[in-house]
Amino acid sequence: PAGALPARPAAEPGGDLAGRPCRHPLADRRTNARLAHCEDSVKGRFEAIAPTLKAISALQHLDDFAGRAQALARQQLGYELPQGILDDAWVAGLDLKALYAHCAFSALKASAAQFADDLKNQLEQLQDARNFFLDCGFHAIDISPCADGRLKGLSRYILRLPLTSFSWRKAYAGALFDVETDVRHWVSTELRRFREGVPTTAAAGSRYLKVAVYHTSSSNPCHEGCAAHGSNEHKAIEAALERLVQFRQAIENAFCCGASTDILLIGVDTDTDAIKVHVPDARGELSAHRYVEAMALYRETARLSADSARLAVYEAISRASAASGWGTGQGEPHEGMRRLIAHLLINNFSQIEYVAELYGERYPDIGHAERFISVGDGFEEVQMRNVAYYAHLHTLEEGAADMDVGIKIFKGLNVKHGLPIPVAIHYRYDARVPGSRERAAAKARRVRDAIRARYPELAAQGFLACHLSVQDQPTGSPIETVEA
């Protein structure tokens, strides 16, 4: 399967070019090949849209235009175009904006279905992941990355953590997650343990882990870092640390002793997907200055045997814990935390190698190159870098700042070229709660109306293409279109 990797410029990870691709003993080349295939087909679906529509547009004045156009669409895109738009082309010209929007949402739905399928084939891995988390002493892993599109592949690509029933991800601009929402989440997780003993009983002494993920750009740190923090890494770290501490404090204050939660902070270099894991000390405290860098560790260990490399990872974690100076902490974290950190670093080695093999020294799109704006709860299953700009919001009133940034990005990416901005408004519902689906659909409509009202010129000129959908809670549930 390694042979399935497309031939692109390969590089020694981290830019230390030696002419031949590097092979780390702990990198998972089989999974890399599968992920490359997945990335190719998802991005390919979006990339095929513009050339295909351009070719179709050129056929406009030929005989049997609609028939030829559909044939081309089937062949190049794999689906048909709305017949009505083709039939009406002779009157006022072909409505290319409408076709583009249709294709973008078709690509999105096909990608989501592919990811959902893929998830079904990973049931064994899922069980392994669950057992691994439990072995490390965690009964819940709640990850909040920044909403930046370049982190959209966090679980699947960068950290290689499968979505399980007790690990999940919710993105916020600048990783500034909502403490109140997360406390509620902690509460319902705990209740399930007490009532049902799932996934561990209340007596088990396992922990709830809250992870925040910030990001930087090693090649252009002052411009391509986290927009929510003005591309200032220091600010991004401090802000995420503050939220993590607030979260832990909130639970300790509200639910007396024994409310044991762990916190973890991870940084991602969006140029190379290499991570930096901040190592908690024995009391669970974090520091901006105490961490392990996966890229340096990758290079140090790339030529060792698998066992030696694994040992070196654990040693690096111990070294970080023993740091003096600003990063000084009080001892090492508990054993389960050390195992989890080692696991994340080793997983990331595969991704470092993936990026180096497919793209060379760094991603070619170090900036924005998103294909659509994802509004609402987001398509949890579609996990790939730079596919979507993501604005997690339940009302535009609260999320207007995030949305404005997204619209600005897409004015440059799409509107400048005459293409509409695909806005996929998506909410999850809970089929076990009566009326929940209807309320989620109504919310999607309300948010759509608010978006149209906020950008009236774009709406009037047909540059805002909104697609509304809802989805039941369980991971991999079908995406149900509510209203085109």
Binding site for Zn ion (CB under 5 A): 146, 148, 226, 228, 377
Q: From Zn ion, its own copies, none, which one binds at residue 435 (CB under 5 to 8 Å depending on kind)?
A: its own copies
Q: How far apart are the first and last CA of the chain?
A: 39
Question: Which residue, 52 or 144, has its beta carbon nearer to its own copies?
Answer: 144
Tokens of residue 317, six digits:
């974690």
Q: 229: exposed, middle or buried (C-beta count within 10 Å: 0-12, 13-18, 19+)? A: buried
Give the nearest distance from C-beta 187 to its own copies in angstroms.
5
Establish if 190 lies at the interface with its own copies (CB under 8 A).
yes
Q: From Zn ion, its own copies, none, which one binds at residue 398 (CB under 5 to 8 Å depending on kind)?
A: its own copies
Alpha-helical runs (H) found in 332-375: 335-359
Mask 253-282, x = binds its own copies (CB under 8 A)?
xxxx--------------------------
Q: How far, in Å, CA of 408 to CA of 129, rounded?
A: 39
Give the nearest distance from C-beta 470 to its own copies in angstroms.
14
Q: Tell me whether residue 281 is one of the annotated catalytic residues.
A: no
- Containing 307, the helix (H) or strand (E) segment is helix 306-321
Beta strands per DSSP E along 217-348: 261-269, 274-278, 291-293
Count of chain residues binding its own copies (CB under 8 A): 33
Stretch that binds its own copies, among 10-18, 92-100, 247-255, 302-310 (CB under 8 A): 247-255
User: Which residues 6+ apart lie within 8 Å of 429 measured at CB?
Assistant: 436, 437, 439, 440, 470, 471, 472, 473
Establish if 428 lies at the interface with its own copies (CB under 8 A).
no
Q: What is the DSSP letter of 396?
A: H
Stretch that binds its own copies, among 62-70, 88-96, 117-125, 175-183 (CB under 8 A): 175-183
Establish if 286 lies at the interface with its own copies (CB under 8 A).
no
**Of the residues 196, 283, 416, 457, which one makes contact with its own copies according to CB under 8 A:** 196
| Residue of 142, 148, 271, 273 marked catalytic | 148
Stretch that binds its own copies, among 14-22, 74-82, 190-198, 227-235 (CB under 8 A): 190-198
Q: What are phi and psi of 119, to 5 degrees?
A: -60, -40
Mask 391-410, x = binds its own copies (CB under 8 A)?
----xxxx------------
Residue 361, CA distances (Å) to 12, 38, 274, 354 in order:
7, 21, 12, 11
Question: Which residue, 184 or 319, has its beta carbon nearer to its own copies?
Answer: 184
**Of the residues 184, 223, 319, 408, which one makes contact with its own copies according to CB under 8 A:** 184
Instruction: Give the chain's length.
Output: 484
Question: Which residue, 120 or 432, has its beta carbon nearer to its own copies?
Answer: 432
Q: From Zn ion, its own copies, none, which one binds at residue 191 (CB under 5 to 8 Å depending on kind)?
A: its own copies
**Of the residues 55, 116, 250, 311, which one makes contact with its own copies according to CB under 8 A:** 250
Q: Are 342 and 314 in contact (CB under 8 A)?
A: yes
Q: Are 212 and 233 in contact (CB under 8 A)?
A: no
Q: Are 370 and 424 in contact (CB under 8 A)?
A: no
User: Which residues 6+ apart lie within 8 Å of 258 measured at CB?
Assistant: none
Question: Which residue, 43 or 243, has its beta carbon nearer to its own copies?
Answer: 243
**Residue listed under structure tokens 């024994």:** 258
**Of the residues 70, 246, 260, 477, which one makes contact with its own copies according to CB under 8 A:** 246
Give the nearest distance from C-beta 251 to its own copies in angstroms.
9
Residue 79, CA distances (Å) to 42, 106, 141, 146, 408 in order:
15, 8, 38, 34, 30
Catalytic residues: 148
User: Binding residues for its own copies, per CB under 8 A?
Assistant: 179-180, 183-184, 187-188, 190-191, 194-196, 202, 245-246, 249-250, 253-256, 395-398, 430, 432-436, 439, 446, 450
